[in-house]
Amino acid sequence: MLEHILLPLDGSTLAESVLPHAIALTAAFKSKLTLLRVVYAEPQNNQRGIVNPIDWQIRKSEAEAYLQSVQSRLSDIEIDSDIRILEGKPADQIVEFANNEKVDLVLLTSHGKSGPSAWNINSTVQKVLLRTFSPVMLIRAYMQKTTELQGLSYERLLIPLDGSKRAECILPMAKAICKAHGSKVFLIHIIEEPKLPRQTPLSEDVITLVDTLRMVNTEEAEKYLKGVEQQFEDIQVESIIESSEKPTVTMHDIVDRENIDLVLMSAHGYSGENRWPYGKFALNFIVYGTTPLFIVQDLSRDELEKSIAEKYAEQTKGH
């Protein structure tokens, strides 16, 4: 299932926080692992856009030496890997390689050479997430739990489901990880309560209507999750249904409460739009989550509508 995993590295300790995850997945799925380093040098203004060729060669040699050192460390624990060095802007090259090579997973760390920041992800990661159509796993560099390369496992997985087929795109991957790591999986369904902003108390009729709607939704959710549970043969499953006026907040609270090791979700759910690469839940967890996050993109390149910025960039390219 994960035949080819892509691991971009920039030479920093923060970026290497993803290595235990790369090893855990590569070992479990016998995947091909590609270590990627993108070499990019900003042209100096006084050089009219010309990059010093000697400096450029030094950068490439340093990048190759670094990747070889990582490759050697992985080889010592019987993890085989390939090395690729590309030239250009990091985000563009990572996206192009992932899409052209049809990799099965891009492993990203939230921060790298530019160092930690108040932003939950750096700009390169943001660009890759918005442009690659491969499944992506995002690791929070500031939440690294271990410096040991081996021994990492995903014991408690969380899967948000809203009853849609789009949200279920993550299930095959989740089942495969559960079987490989002996994980327990939590199936989560949040019932969004109706928002009735008023300056006066609700009438008894309205309160009864809201309670009835909540009861019907809960019954339907229970039936739905029982059906999903049956797909997880020989896997420990727990379903959680909660009602909330703020579903995303409740989801984060459940992640913390259940000590989740890995959150897995589809990029879109029932209300997902083809105008955007991620729905509200996925985008919220990208921007605000702190737990390792695995996202499967349910849209192809052709299905996702181009943004106005993309169209403008294409029209003005070369001008």
pLDDT of residue 264: 98
Residue 47 has pLDDT above 80, yes or no: no
CA distances (Å), origin 216, targets 5, 187, 208, 246, 303? 43, 19, 12, 19, 34
pLDDT of residue 195: 75
Residue 79 has pLDDT above 90, yes or no: yes
Span 120-137, average pLDDT: 91
Residue 210 has pLDDT above 90, yes or no: no
Where do the domains of the chain lie? Answer: 1-152
Report whether 34 contacts 2 (CB < 8 A): no
Span 241-256, average pLDDT: 94
pLDDT of residue 126: 93
Span 31-44, average pLDDT: 85
pLDDT of residue 50: 61
Residue 302 has pLDDT above 90, yes or no: no
pLDDT of residue 51: 60
Residue 199 has pLDDT above 80, yes or no: no
Report whether 210 contacts 194 (CB < 8 A): yes
Give me 295's structure tokens: 């996202």
pLDDT of residue 114: 78
What CATH number has the domain spanning 1-152? 3.40.50.620
Task: Give the pLDDT band (50/70/90) at residue 44.
Answer: low
CA distances (Å), origin 33, targets 19, 178, 256? 11, 21, 31
pLDDT of residue 63: 92
For the entire predicted model, the pTM comes to 0.90
CA distances (Å), origin 93, targets 31, 140, 278, 297? 22, 22, 21, 19
Give me 254's structure tokens: 């459940």
In this predicted model, what pLDDT tens digit does every residue of 107-118 receive, in sequence order? 999 988 877 778
Task: Give the pLDDT band (50/70/90) at residue 285.
Answer: very high
List, in sequence order, every residue forming a beta bridge with 184; answer none if it has no partner: 156, 236
In this predicted model, what pLDDT tens digit does every residue of 137-187 receive, in sequence order? 999 988 877 678 898 999 999 999 999 999 999 999 999 999 999 999 999
Residue 76 has pLDDT above 90, yes or no: yes
Span 30-46, average pLDDT: 81
pLDDT of residue 314: 84
